[in-house]
Every structure is written in C-alpha cells, then in structure tokens.
Structure 1
Amino acid sequence: MRDASDPPARPDDTPDRTGDTPARPDDTSGRTGNIDDPRGSPAPLRGSTDRLPTFSVTHDSSPSETLIAGFSAYGLAGLTAVDYLIEHLELEVRGHVIAEGLPSITPFEKGRPRHPTRLYSADDVDVTLLVAEQFVPPVLGESIARSILDWTATNDVDEIAVLSGVPIPHGPDAHRTFYIATDDYRETRLVDADVPPMESGFLDGVNAALLDRGMDSPLGVGLFVTPVHAQAPDVEAAVRLVETVTDLYELDVDAGPLEAFAAEIRRHYEDLAERIEEREPEGSYDRMYM
C-alpha cells in the first residue's frame, strides 16, 4: 500500500496493464491490409504511402466499343495472349493506367521506359486492348475495376472481355477455354459460340469486381479462362485464349506463331512472374472448380 507521505505517482509511472507494446502507427508488420477489415482502417501495402493505392485511366483518343484486357496473374496466359494480339494487330499505345501507392515497376524496351499498364488502339481495328504488367493484389481488385468502369462509362465502351489463366487441377480434356459472363454479354457473343461455361466456383480480385459491376450495369462483361501450368508464360494456354477471342471478334490474327513470340519475350515474363510470386499471397488467385 502506498504511504500517504509518498509523492504521488507520475502519469508516466502508471503500469501498462495490457502487457503488450503498442504498435507504432507506421508498423504494418508485413500486413497488406483488408479493405473489409472491421477492426479499422487497413494497413498500407508495403512500399506504398500511408493511404490505399488509387488508379486513374487516361486515353489520348476515343476507344473502341469493346475492351479486351489481360492482367498479371499466375501463368501469365492472359497477359501473353493480349500482348500477342497487340503485336499482330499492329496497335499503338493510346493511353495508360496510373497506380498511385503501389510498389513501382517500370518496364522498358530498347532503352525506352513505358507505363506498366497500357491501352492500345488503332483507327482500323474495332477493339481496344488493355495490357496490365503491374500486379494488382486481389484486395485492390475493386479499386482498379471501379476506375476502369468509370472510364468505360465515360467513353461509351459497351463490353469488356478479360483473358485469364487459372491454376486448377485438370486433365487433358480441360485444355480448352471456358467462360463466365453476364447475361447481356452471353446473349450478344456466346449464343452460337463453341465455348462452354465454367460450371461453378468463386472469383476474386479484379475479375470478380468487373463481373460483379457488370451484373448491375448495361456493360457486358465476359471472362474467358483456361487452365494453366506453373511455367510462365504458359504458351499453350495463351494460344487457346487467342483462338477463342479471335473467333468471337473476327480478328485477323493467326495463333500459330505465338510459341515463337513467347520465346522472344520469355525472359521478360519470367522476371514478371517472379515479382508476382513475391507479392501474391498463396491462394489469392481465382478459386474455381470445374
């Protein structure tokens, strides 16, 4: 018991009854954060500022009514397919997506830097292509999807097709392309197409966000997926995606030379795949079951 003659305790002498050292405000402890975390504001991504990353889209000219997109994901099949289409349709860079607050990557070619997420168009081609070499964590899928969809609404884009690989156990019979699509996209593009639906499962990240928004808006959204293997790029998977989208949109592109094309850019994509593996938590890819 404290004697009455003892001096009063100073406030900073008060024992810490919690027994825990309070975390520093800037201590993220390696957490990437969760925008739906009920415990409070999510911790920022490592390498970012003290706020959540934001995305903005710029485009130099009016895009086509159809946007075809490929994002950095396991196997890089969708990214390879879109890159190949850009090369063979002879499209030009017409815009890009700026990501504020994500760890930066700056690809370059022949000594010239370029934005990691770019938009390509041509006056004589009826599609605009989006190639996203910068990996976006699934927790930020809603944010980048919102920016893309705000841009498509402003620029009268009618539909989005996303090409993607999914790392799921599969046999030889599953080496084909499947779709998950909103009703309006299916009625417009898939009624007579030789593309089966993916039976059931779950999506996350930007693919989930685009489809979720598409269900409640006039924008048609179609996601085309094919099983992929660990090597990057999975050339056979990319070929399947190219063949599917060229048939659906009647694009004058031969998928035959894609293997040689992939060999030329393999080193670039291997480096990109290593970055994705470092930053993508295990199991954060789309979860699907056939």
Structure 2
Amino acid sequence: MSVNVNAPKDLPKGAMVIEAFPSRGYVSTLAANQLIKKLEMDMVGHIECDKLDAIAVVHDGQPLHPIRIYHKDNLIVIFSELMIPFNLVHEFTAAIGDWFKELQPESAILLASVPGVSTEKEHEIMNVSTDEGMKKKLKKMKVKGMDEGVLTGMSSSLMIKCCAHDIPATSLMVETSYIPDVLAAASLLEIIGGLLDMEIDVDELMEAGHEIEKKFKETLKQIHQGQENYHEIHQLQSMYR
C-alpha cells in the first residue's frame, strides 16, 4: 500500500484545495485547523501510510486518523497532525499528486513556513505561484513574491507535482520563530481568506493563543510519547523472538 488517499470519488471537480502538513512553528496546521472549524467543514477522508508509526489522535472523545481530508462546498483541505519523515515525502507527494490529477482542482494552495528573519514586518508572508489569478490577488494584498530561492519540504514537492500535472498552485510561506506560532498562523489565515474571497475571523485564534499553544504542545508531546512507547515495545518483542 505505502501511501493511500482514501477520499470519496464524488468530490467536486474544479475545487480549491489547501494542503496543510505541519511546517516550522506548525503555522499551517494551526491556520488550517481554524479554517476547518470556522467553516464547519466535514471530514470526508484520510491518508494512510503503512510505513508510518501506528497512531490515532483523539479529539472530543473521537479517535481519528492523524492525516485527514475535509470538504465543504468548493473547498477541500488536507490537514495533518503528523510531521512526515523526510524519507517519505516523495511517496506522499506522488500519491497526493496522482489524486490531484484525478480531482482536477481549479487551484492548489500549499501552506509552509520559513525560519524567522529580521524584517520590518512581523510574520512576513512570501509566495511562489503559477496561478495568474492568485498572483493578482496577492499583489493587491501586497504579499511579496519570491523571485529567487529554494523551497523545501512537502509543499515544495507538491508544487513540482502540480506543475507536472498542469495544476495552478500557490505556495504561501510565513516567517516564524516560535513553536507553535499562533500569531504567524493568524497572519497566514488572513491571506488565505483574501485568496478565497471570504472573511475569516482570526480574533478567536489570537485571543485563545495561549490556550491553543498549551493544548497543541500537549498533543505533540502525546504523539511523540506514543511513538517512543511503540518503538520500545517493538524492540522488546524483537529481543524475545
């Protein structure tokens, strides 16, 4: 199996797709989580990989896949609470790229972050885009474009896959210095709202920043602890074979 995208076949063609795998500061995960919550999106699928540790997350008493797919109207969001190991990035993006080819989205928005740098603007956002319509919106919002540089991680690999399948794509990269960085996530969410032509209230994200950070750190701690426990048990089993 390796990587398998489990999603309904009847999702709308020509939808807008947002990719939100964890990035530095977990800004993509925080921003997407708030978007899903505010738009009351429905969970419709998940992505699984037999090379990842066996992990389920629990929210409101409900066990869930850590990599989930949400949908509402003409918007689809890929949301992950797991950082994908570097050696599995290409397998994930190959599977997602093939799914994108079937889905035929109107455009893809890929969320990422870059290490905090000294700029005049806190949490500055940059973009790389092959979508002319998005370029015009981003220019109007005064979001700086990247003319030269290097992209890394899931978003960069997915950008290449989108180019190969002639799918317009935009990578949004917000500078961040903290883990998790709620303020950077709020800045990113405002830009996403502008690209989607909708107002997304970021006040709740800003006001509940401390509580969100606390909850998020606890979830990460439990995931890491679960991975460590799994490997310890596996090693003990190997010793007694």
TM bracket, shorter-chain basis = 0.7 to 0.9
The answer to whether structure 1 residue 56 and structure 2 residue 4 are counterparts is yes
Give yes or no for contact 1:66–1:127 (8 Å, CA) kept in 2: yes
Tell me the equivalent position of 2:34.
Answer: 84
Deviations 1:32-59 (A, max 9, x none): xxxxxxxxxxxxxxxxxxxxx8211111
Tell me the equivalent position of 2:152.
Answer: 204
State the Cα distance separating 1:212 from its structure 2 match.
1.5
C-alpha separation between the residues in 1 aligned to 2:42 and 2:120? Answer: 37
Which moves more between the two structures, 81-90 or 108-117? 108-117
Q: Structure 1 stretches of 5 or more lacking a match?
A: 1-52, 280-290
SS in 1 for 2:121: helix
Aligned with residue 239 of structure 1, among 154, 161, 186 = 186
State the Cα distance separating 1:98 from its structure 2 match.
0.8
Letter in 1 for 2:148: S
State the Cα distance separating 1:225 from its structure 2 match.
0.7
Change (3 A) 1:84 1:191: same
Which moves more between the two structures, 266-275 or 169-178? 266-275
User: Equivalent pairs: percent with the same residue?
Assistant: 22
Letter in 1 for 2:31: A
C-alpha separation between the residues in 2 aligned to 1:101 and 1:262? Answer: 34
C-alpha separation between the residues in 2 aligned to 1:181 and 1:138? Answer: 24
Tell me the equivalent position of 1:254.
Answer: 201
Change (3 A) 1:216 1:150: closer
Tell me the equivalent position of 1:132.
Answer: 80
State the Cα distance separating 1:143 from its structure 2 match.
1.1
C-alpha separation between the residues in 2 aligned to 1:270 and 1:200? Answer: 34
C-alpha separation between the residues in 1 aligned to 2:44 and 2:208? Answer: 23
State the Cα distance separating 1:249 from its structure 2 match.
0.9
SS in 2 for 1:76: helix
SS in 1 for 2:151: coil
Give yes or no for contact 1:63–1:128 (8 Å, CA) kept in 2: no
C-alpha separation between the residues in 1 aligned to 2:100 and 2:209? Answer: 30
Give yes or no for contact 1:79–1:164 (8 Å, CA) kept in 2: no
Deviations 1:50-82 (A, max 9, x none): xxx821111134146111121112201111000
Aligned with residue 189 of structure 1, among 134, 141, 150 = 134
SS in 2 for 1:162: strand
State the Cα distance separating 1:165 from its structure 2 match.
2.0
C-alpha separation between the residues in 2 aligned to 1:96 and 1:242? Answer: 23
CA RMSD of aligned residues (A): 2.2
Higher helix proportion (structure 1 or 2): 2
Find the structure with the greater CA-based Rg: 1
Deviations 1:248-276 (A, max 9, x none): 11124212221235444333421455567
User: TM-score normalized by structure 2?
Assistant: 0.82
State the Cα distance separating 1:159 from its structure 2 match.
1.9
Q: With a CA cutoff of 8 Å and minimum separation of 6, indicate the structure with the bigger relative contact order.
A: 2
Deviations 1:101-159 (A, max 9, x none): 1123311012210010111112xx32111111111022322111111111111122232
Give yes or no for contact 2:182–2:213 (8 Å, CA) kept in 1: no
Tell me the equivalent position of 1:39.
Answer: none
The 5 A counterparts of 1:18-97 are 54-60=2-8, 61-63=10-12, 65-97=15-47
Tell me the equivalent position of 2:117.
Answer: 169
C-alpha separation between the residues in 1 aligned to 2:123 and 2:91? Answer: 32
Which moves more between the two structures, 137-146 or 86-95? 137-146
Deviations 1:156-182 (A, max 9, x none): 223210122222422342532110122
The answer to whether structure 1 residue 157 and structure 2 residue 105 are counterparts is yes
Deviations 1:15-35 (A, max 9, x none): xxxxxxxxxxxxxxxxxxxxx
Give yes or no for contact 1:138–1:204 (8 Å, CA) kept in 2: no
Change (3 A) 1:140 1:170: farther
State the Cα distance separating 1:83 from its structure 2 match.
0.4
Paired residues, number: 219
Give yes or no for contact 1:81–1:163 (8 Å, CA) kept in 2: no
Letter in 2 for 1:210: L
Which moves more between the two structures, 248-257 or 112-121? 248-257
C-alpha separation between the residues in 2 aligned to 1:272 and 1:180? Answer: 31
Deviations 1:190-224 (A, max 9, x none): 12432211343212221121111222321111110
The answer to whether structure 1 residue 142 and structure 2 residue 82 are counterparts is no
